[in-house]
Structure 1
Amino acid sequence: MTVKMTAKTRETSNKGSALTELRSKGEVPGVVYGYKTETTSVTVAEIELIKTLRESGRNGVINLDIDGKTTNVVLSDYQMDALKGSFKHVDFLAINMSDELEVATTVHLTGESVGEKEGGFVTQPNREVTIRVKPSDIPDALEIDISKLEIGDTITVGDVRGTVSYEILDEDDFILVSATAPRTQEELDELETVSEEGAEPEVVGSEDSEENKEA
């Protein structure tokens, strides 16, 4: 699916104040680079960007109009403001529609597993896979039916590789979903004890506040 979006060229500035002013006006600074394209600094309206991504999906092809010149691109990378939930910066990769791309696609589970009905739990160790595919054939997601998944079962890339029309680049033993047995009473008691002791959660990451993509 290809959708249209407009962008405007902008002067490159390393001043945070200039970028802050842009964002205050509802504009998102970004850059376009790639196939037969000179690296170009642009801005896009955030409301239009959000609307476009809702229509095309994370990996959809965008027909980007930059000051009247159109280029087929995909969203290569982006930065979000963790507090405001808004876009800080976007990277668009210009593409050749005839060439295959390496992109990440979401793993989407369908159905209710046998293991869940028996009181077990379904876990998803990996929620994305990397695929190689032509831009026009990029899927919205890799859909996996888990209705026959029993306790102790796992589904790996090797199990689904032959069911899709594109190439999955992850290894065969890359686990996508598994069904585990219900917790024992001993495990539940241990979890309750930890909770009552008020263990502090571990901080595993934080938002980088520095502007590291201002080109």
Structure 2
Amino acid sequence: MSEDLIIAETRSEFGKGAARRIRRANKVPAVIYGHGNDPIHVTLPGHDTLMAIKHGGANAVLNIEIDGKVQLALTKQVQADPIKGFLEHVDFVAVKKGEKVTVEVPVHTTGEAAKETFVQIENNVVTLEAEATHIPEAIEVDIEGAEVGTQILAGQLTLPKGSVLVSDSEQLIVNITQAVSAAEVEAELAEAEAEAGIEHDAPADEAAGDEAPAEGDAPAEGSADSE
């Protein structure tokens, strides 16, 4: 949870025009839902909010001060400019200390699997129930030395204290398979192309070689060799 206090301004103007004016002032429009209350529409300082969300990760919980009262807010949806990276809009859910929330948490692998293996991440997030102010940023999975055939299920993950798995315990998270060589990939591709009836033109140098006269062929009539 971010310990920084984000000072919000309530807003009553909506629409694309109002949002553009807010962003030009280096601020970000946001809305806070939850606890049966009407949505609270606010304007937040752009840089401070961006840094707090980056620090807190996908499920960042921010301290947002609204009209002198501090509200804990769980980040639910972030819209950012794909090129410049600034925040365009943020949706939050109001939470309280001690409250349990259901969130999706990313899964990260650590270590290196055995040689000649391929590590397939079948599901890169798991759903957990956790206390709102103690949501893990990620769940780490150690694959050091894992051999071909190793499979790690959601129920085998080591969760932080206080977190409870909501995802199916049989959900496949990591699958270690035999690495495929470049030659095998090329052979499979060639076979697939053949089945699809795809033909490739011969390289230019081969085509030129086909057009050259064969050794021993008689020179064309009228050539210097025939005079």
Spell out the pairing of 1:58-69 with structure 2 (5 A cutoff): 58-69=58-69
Moved over 3 A (4+): 188-194
- Give the Cα separation in 2 of the matches to 1:47 and 1:164: 30
Give the count of matched residue pairs: 191
What's the offset of the Cα at 1:58? 2.4
What CA distance in whole angstroms lies between the structure 2 residues aligned with 1:54 and 1:120? 33
Counterpart code for 1:137? H
Q: Distance in 1 between matches of 2:13 and 2:187?
A: 58
Among candidates 126, 129, 132, match of residue 129 of structure 1: 126
Partner-residue secondary structure (3-state), 2:18: helix
How far apart are 1:191 and its partner, in Å?
4.8
* Residue 170 (str. 1) matches residue 167 (str. 2): yes
1:89 CA displacement: 1.0
Give unmatched runs, 5+ long, in structure 1: 198-215
The one-letter amino acid paired with 2:87 is F
Question: 1:179 maps to which residue?
Answer: 176
Over 3 Å counting, the alpha-carbon distance change for 1:189 and 1:22 in structure 2 is farther
Paired residue secondary structure (2:112):
coil
CA distance in 2: counterparts of 1:143 and 1:190, whole angstroms: 34
1:69 Cα deviation (Å)? 1.8
- Provide the C-alpha distance between the structure 2 equivalents of 1:176 and 1:76, rounded to a whole number of angstroms: 23
Partner residue in 1 for 2:26: 26
The aligned residue for residue 109 of structure 2 is 109
- C-alpha distance 70-38 of structure 1, shift in aligned 2 (>3 A): farther
Match of 1:17 in 2: 17
Alignment partner of 2:108: what SS? strand
Query: Are residues 1:143 and 2:140 paired?
Result: yes
Deviation at 1:80, TM superposition (A): 2.4
Q: Give the partner amino acid of 2:27.
A: E
Residue in 2 that maps onto 1:203: none
The structure whose RCO (Cα within 8 Å, separation 6+) is larger is: 1
**Structure 2: runs of 5 or more not aligned:** 194-199, 201-227
Q: CA shift at 1:147, angstroms?
A: 1.1
How far the C-alpha of 1:24 sits from its partner, in A, is 2.0
Structure 1 position 138, deviation (Å) = 1.1
CA deviation profile, 1:5-27 (whole Å, cap 9, x unmatched): 2211111323x122112112221
Matched AA of 1:170: S
Cα deviations by residue, 1:93-129 (Å, 9 ceiling, x for unpaired): 1112122100111101111112xxx222112121111
- Give the structure-2-normalised TM-score: 0.75
For the 8 Å contact 2:27–2:46, the answer to whether it is kept is yes
The whole-number CA distance in structure 2 between the counterparts of 1:93 and 1:53 is: 14
Cα distance in 1 for residues equivalent to 2:50 and 2:65: 16
How far is 1:164 from its partner? 4.4
Cα-Cα RMSD: 2.4
- Indicate the SS of the match to 1:49: helix
Bigger shift: residues 50-59 or 142-151:
50-59
Aligned partner letter, 1:129: V
Q: Which residue number corresponds to residue 204 of structure 1?
A: none
| Match of residue 46 from structure 1 | 46
